[in-house]
């Protein structure tokens, strides 16, 4: 375990913020499988939040069982960032996280996310404004730099520390990498060596052995996992079991059937029908990877035109597969 000021992160494994995926329902599902010491909300626009209070409620909503929870904000205007931090504090978040890593054009064009890696004077203003606005623990999530010639993670770390930021997550890709190539864990190790605050490492932890290797090779305090969890919700639990030397259980087909059906039912119950169907296809598409006949199931989910059709596809698929392969005792 490690601490971000008084917030205990135990186990030291963190569910990454993944926009469009890691909403409250998904985070609850992951927490209930065990092994996850901290969850982070999807990124929330401070422009949107401060101009139209209430519009971001679906992004900032969380349940008590998710705690400790960090809410992540992004933007470029120190005043709006500070105002948003006050709003997030009032919502009861345990930690406020600033996004300085998002590479997508929409965010970068507005001057936020990874764009701040190439405007450190503005980043410093943001850190200081947000720090002054909230008494809550403050963290930042960064990429290693804007491009290969401007890897500045250590400079950003020093700026963060001097501004009262209390932990830093680093994804070892630069903005120019988007999601190609590999996360460079050597820069994560270098940041950790220079840090006085806790460091969370991120990028390409797709198996329990990867988490173990990231801890050993970089010395980080915590490991954050994103895409691997979208296709294997048990991944964080499996990492924790592996780190503890206990048996790592693979999810059986019936575990997957149960998880997918129960989780997608909740999504369907909570959202208005057209939104629910789209979201179920997206989440179901990720969850239906890597098991017998999963490509066929994915195609059926995607071609469903109603929720009933989608659940029928799930039921028929798993009934057929489990009939053919037998249920695990």
Q: Could you list the residues that contact ligand FMN (CB under 6 A)?
A: 16-20, 42-43, 72, 99, 101-102, 141, 171, 202-205, 225-228
* Residue among 171 and 175 whose Cβ is closer to ligand FMN: 171
Could you tell me if 37 and 11 are in contact, meaning their C-beta atoms sit under 8 angstroms apart? yes
- Tokens 């929720």 correspond to 307
Cα 52–127–193 angle (5° rounding)? 135
* Residue among 113 and 318 whose Cβ is closer to ligand FMN: 113
* Residue among 205 and 301 whose Cβ is closer to ligand FMN: 205
The least distance separating ligand FMN from the CB of residue 308, rounded to whole angstroms, comes to 28
The least distance separating ligand FMN from the CB of residue 172, rounded to whole angstroms, comes to 9
Q: Residue 223, class by beta-carbon neighbours within 10 Å (0-12 exposed, 13-18 middle, 19+ buried)? A: buried
Could you tell me if 81 and 98 are in contact, meaning their C-beta atoms sit under 8 angstroms apart? yes
The least distance separating ligand FMN from the CB of residue 303, rounded to whole angstroms, comes to 23
Q: Which residue is nearest to ligand FMN (CB)?
A: 226
Q: Which residues are catalytic?
A: 102
* Residue among 18 and 280 whose Cβ is closer to ligand FMN: 18
The least distance separating ligand FMN from the CB of residue 9, rounded to whole angstroms, comes to 16
Q: How far apart are CA 313 and CA 303, in angstroms?
A: 10
Which runs of consecutive H residues, i.e. helices, occur in the chain? 24-33, 46-51, 57-60, 78-91, 105-109, 120-133, 153-162, 185-194, 208-218, 227-231, 235-243, 253-270, 273-287, 294-303, 307-325
The least distance separating ligand FMN from the CB of residue 326, rounded to whole angstroms, comes to 33
Cα 68 to Cα 98, 101, 147, 317, distances in angstroms: 16, 22, 33, 37
* Residue among 28 and 254 whose Cβ is closer to ligand FMN: 28
């Amino acid at each position: 375990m490690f601490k971000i000021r008084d917030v205990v992160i135990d186990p030291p494994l963190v569910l990454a913020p993944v926009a469009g995926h890691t909403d409250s329902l998904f985070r609850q599902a992951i927490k209930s499988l065990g092994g996850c010491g901290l969850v982070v909300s999807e990124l929330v626009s401070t422009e949107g939040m401060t101009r139209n209070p209430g519009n971001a409620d679906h992004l900032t909503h969380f349940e008590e069982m998710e705690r400790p929870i960090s809410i992540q904000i992004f933007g470029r205007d120190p005043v709006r960032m500070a105002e948003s931090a006050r709003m997030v504090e009032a919502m009861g978040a345990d930690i406020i996280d600033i996004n300085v890593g998002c590479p997508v054009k929409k965010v970068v064009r507005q001057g936020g996310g990874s764009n701040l890696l190439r405007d450190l004077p503005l980043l410093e203003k943001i850190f200081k404004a947000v720090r002054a606005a909230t008494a809550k623990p403050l963290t930042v999530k960064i990429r290693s730099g804007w491009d290969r010639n401007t890897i500045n993670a250590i400079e950003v770390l020093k700026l963060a520390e001097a501004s009262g930021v209390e932990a830093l997550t680093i994804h070892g890709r630069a903005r120019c990498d988007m999601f190609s190539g590999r996360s460079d864990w050597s820069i994560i190790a270098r940041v950790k060596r220079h840090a006085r605050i806790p460091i969370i490492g991120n990028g390409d932890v797709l198996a329990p052995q990867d988490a173990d290797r990231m801890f050993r090779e970089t010395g980080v305090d915590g490991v954050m996992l994103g895409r691997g969890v979208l296709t294997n919700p048990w991944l964080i639990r499996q990492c924790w079991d592996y780190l503890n030397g206990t048996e790592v259980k693979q999810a059986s087909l019936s575990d997957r059937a149960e998880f997918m059906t129960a989780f997608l039912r909740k999504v369907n119950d909570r959202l208005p029908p057209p939104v629910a169907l789209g979201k179920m296809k997206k989440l179901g598409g990720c969850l239906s990877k890597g098991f017998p006949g999963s490509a066929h199931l994915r195609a059926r989910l995607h071609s469903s035109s109603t929720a009933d059709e989608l659940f029928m596809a799930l039921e028929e698929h798993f009934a057929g597969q489990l009939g053919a392969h037998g249920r695990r005792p």
